[in-house]
Structure 1
Amino acid sequence: MSMDTFLVPPRWLFLRIRTDEGITGWGEPVVEGRAATVQAAVAELSEYLIGEDPMRIEDHWQVLTKGGFYRGGPVLSSAVAGIDQALWDIAGKAAGLPVHMLLGGPVRERVRMYAWIGGDRPAEVADLARAQVEAGFTAVKMNGSAELTAIDTPAQSRGIVERVAAVREAIGEHNDVVVDFHGRMSTAMARRVLPLLEPLMPLFVEEAVLPEHSDNLAALAQGTSIPLATGERLYSRWDFRAVLGRGIAVAQPDVSHAGGISEVRRIAAMAEAYDVAMAPHCPLGPIALASSLQLAFAIPNFLIQEQSVGIHYNEGNDVLDYLVDRGPLTFTGGHAARTALPGLGIEVDERAVERMAAQGHRWRNPVWRHADGSFAEW
């Protein structure tokens, strides 16, 4: 067995595992802005994995996550996530079956996707939303705001509502809008803003507060009819245990951060017991998206899937650029169709990956500051 990692633009890390039998599996282990750190973690974990049976996926997951005295956190869980994806890819290819068949078989024939409609300060969001609906999508996601102070002005609150209202008017009531606050609101601001958004009926509001303030989700959920979502910065079923009973309606684990296909499947089962739907986070590359779709075909409580084709982060290189055949990740009517292709259901263009890895990247998220010079949540 061999394991190789590739830092490829715009901000991704790919993992290739080759077995002695000649089967290649791909994974996407990355923390955005910390890709080289995760790359080092994968290299450390490879010392255990090389020489082992790749089909013992669960045993490897247990050892990789628990075999070190110090456990958890986004770097380790993301490193394990990419390895787990690649091992499932290998298992599917060895069996000649898509991964979702190995997870119990499909529960749906197509997966509903949503499209992103702007950056952190998007202009003309109504026109962007209308264009995505015309392209066939039935749901769009937008940022709710730029930076906010702990208790911001009435004008800031009304500006949020006006922007969402413009999107709602543009797409009508037969389509959906997701509003992402990226943890930029304090609990106090969330209490103020959420009731104002209720007449616009968002599909859900994402990260209304930071994950470290998850204890406040129960009170927020009781104070609004808007479904609340969280989870892109939670990395295991134990992290989700703390939020599933607090009134959230949607869980959003990321298959490249939360321990891979193995762990996200377990998180989905936990969420189902709390009547919580799944809308996995995925602003990443083609391997993460393909892994997410394999889960979506097998998860009963799946709601909708994020994807990043054309997103503003992907300058110069986009999701489909690293595929031999773009068909499996091409959407029709805002949906991804189920295929019988083995493994993760995609063929990675190894030459493109190797060529772009020579260029690499050093992507970092921006650091924002308030008008007074203090740190602001990005």
Structure 2
Amino acid sequence: MRITDYELFHAPPRWLFLKVTTSDGTVGWGEPVVEGRARTVETAVEELFDNYLLGEDPTRIEDHWQAMYRGGFYRGGPILMSAIAGVDQALWDIKGKQLGAPVYELLGGPARDRVRVYQWIGGDRPDDVGDAAAEKVDAGFTALKMNATPELERVDSPRAVDEAVERLAAVREAVGDDVDIGVDFHGRVSKPMAKRLVAALEPYDPFFVEEPVLPEHNDALPEIAAKTTTPIATGERMFSRWDFKEVFEQGSVDVIQPDLSHAGGITEVNKIASMAEAYDVALAPHCPLGPVALASCVQVDAAAPNALIQEQSLDIHYNESSDVLDYLADPSVFEYEDGYVDLPEGPGLGIEVDEAAVRDSDEPDWHNPVWRHGDGSVAEW
């Protein structure tokens, strides 16, 4: 069996799908994308196939991962690692289909029977979060996540902190103490503001504080963690096990959030999860993306003993034109019940992509906004 063909499809709202075909007709799907840089990643995927993968045996997944990563003098980063991630997902999908087993069975078998998921509320500039939270809890979710703030100045006013506290307080009041609430700083908060915010939000018991500072400032995490007992989460903009070494060794992070479409795919995130387990750190993969990325996450979650919870993008504020279920032949594979999703039983990634829907979709042109402060300088989004 050999890899004989591949196709790439841009699909709304901001996704890129990869179809890989083998000589015996087996098809595997991946989702290699950097949101807002899909065309750049597309070129990287084409280079991997045209220069190396076409004609190769698709079952040698580890060997291909090593060749794609180490075969170039320049390594890592969001573009290459996202391209590798999508290819890796597709190769695992093919292997599972060839062997008639879900990927998690090939990773050692399930460590759980279902995976807990959380639901996004609010938008980029969060508002009306109390009512939205109550609505999602009524729909059966037991965990939520929201952005903590809109854009902030490097040192902002007491009022900016108070508004963040008021939003979280409104959600806590709406849902009570039985529901977990993750608070995402989105890397838009500077170190001094992060220190103030984690302390101010603590009385409302956040599930975790996510990406309190940008990964280039991970050296500040111990100082921020010292200001709160709230678990610290980060990792969506970290792309390999080598990127995670520092935070594990620091001991300041409690939850890691590698993205299965950015951090080298199933092969790499499974290794990152094992590293995290050794440091008593939980896994909660980042996934505001499409169905192939989510299916890949669930496969790793199923087999990882330290998996905590799974992000998923149903009704997320980015999904204005299409949603996570729109490209599946059988959307019931992601039916959420009591805040959980059952493990898929189908082979490979356990989903069937609706190829006609993918082919008929309009090519999106999504880019994240560029925010500016009142003085005209660029703000973190």
Q: Common fold, TM-score beyond 0.5?
A: yes
Matches of residues 165-244 of structure 1 in structure 2 within 5 Å?
165-244=169-248
The aligned counterpart of 1:333 is: 338
Of 131, 136, 142, the residue aligned with 1:132 is 136
Q: Partner letter of residue 6 of structure 2? A: M
Corresponding residue number in structure 2 for 1:366: 369
- Distance in 2, matches of 1:142 and 1:74, equals 24
CA distance in 2, matches of 1:294, 1:315: 27
Distance 1:181 1:218 in 2: 16
Q: Which residue of 2 aligns with 1:256?
A: 261
The superposition leaves residues 182-237 of structure 1 with CA deviations (integer Å, 9 ceiling, x where unpaired) of 01111111111111111111010001111110001012112210110000000000
- Distance in 1, Cα, partners of 2:13 & 2:166: 32
Percentage identity across paired residues of the two chains:
61
> Could you say which residue in structure 2 is the equivalent of 1:375?
378
**Cα distance in 1 for residues equivalent to 2:271 and 2:343:** 22
Partner of 1:120: 124
Give the counterpart of 1:303 among 293, 308, 316.
308
8 Å Cα contact 2:206/2:230 also seen in 1: yes
CA contact (8 A) 2:126 2:150 kept: no
1:1-378 pair list within 5 angstroms: 1-47=4-50, 48-246=52-250, 247-356=252-361, 359-378=362-381
Between the aligned partners of 1:4 and 1:276, the Cα distance in structure 2 is 37
Which range moves more in the overlay, 241-250 or 43-52?
241-250
Given that 2:127 and 2:167 are in contact with CA atoms closer than 8 Å, whether structure 1 keeps it comes out as: no
Letter in 2 for 1:173: D
Distance 2:241 2:127 in 1: 38
The count of aligned residue pairs is 376
Q: CA deviation at 1:339?
A: 2.8
Paired with 2:343 and 2:296, the residues of 1 have a C-alpha distance of 13
- SS of 2:337's partner is coil
Whether the 8 Å CA contact 2:18–2:90 is kept in 1: the answer is yes
Contact 2:116 2:339 (C-alpha < 8 Å) held by counterparts: yes
CA shift for structure 1 position 279: 0.6
* CA RMSD in angstroms, aligned pairs only: 0.7
Deviations 1:232-281 (A, max 9, x none): 00000000001112210000000000000000000000111111100100
Find the aligned partners of 1:213 and 1:206 in 2 and give their Cα distance.
14
Shift of 1:116: 0.3
| AA of the residue aligned to 1:226 | T
Q: Which consecutive unaligned segments of at least 5 residues does structure 1 have?
A: none
Alpha-carbon distance, 1:122 to partner: 2.8
Structure 1 Cα separation of the partners of residues 197 and 73 of structure 2: 43
- Aligned-partner Cα distance in 2 for 1:375–1:197: 26
Q: Partner letter of residue 33 of structure 2?
A: V
Output the CA distance in 1 between the equivalents of 2:316 and 2:198: 26
The answer (yes or no) to whether the contact 2:92–2:103 under 8 Å persists in 1 is yes
User: Following TM superposition, by how much is the alpha carbon of 1:83 offset from its aligned partner in structure 2, in angstroms?
Assistant: 0.1
**Partners of 1:268 and 1:222 in 2: CA distance:** 24
Distance 2:185 2:228 in 1: 16
Structure 2 distance, partners of 1:260, 1:24, is 17
Could you tell me how far apart the structure 2 residues matched to 1:154 and 1:22 are?
Answer: 61
What displacement does 1:113 show? 0.3
TM-score (norm 1): 0.99
* Counterpart secondary structure, 1:113: strand
User: C-alpha distance in 2, partners of 1:21/1:34?
Assistant: 33
Q: Which SS does the other structure have where 2:126 is aligned?
A: coil
> Structure 2: which amino acid aligns with 1:101?
E
- Output the CA distance in 2 between the equivalents of 1:125 and 1:165: 10
Specify the code of the residue in structure 2 equivalent to 1:344. Answer: L
Q: Distance in 2 between matches of 1:290 and 1:96?
A: 16
Deviation for aligned residue 1:151:
0.8
Letter in 2 for 1:228: I
Alpha-carbon distance, 1:118 to partner: 1.4
Stretches of structure 2 that go unaligned for 5 or more consecutive residues are none
Aligned partners of 1:191, 1:8: CA distance in 2, in Å? Answer: 39
Within 2, Cα distance between the matches of 1:290 and 1:330? 12
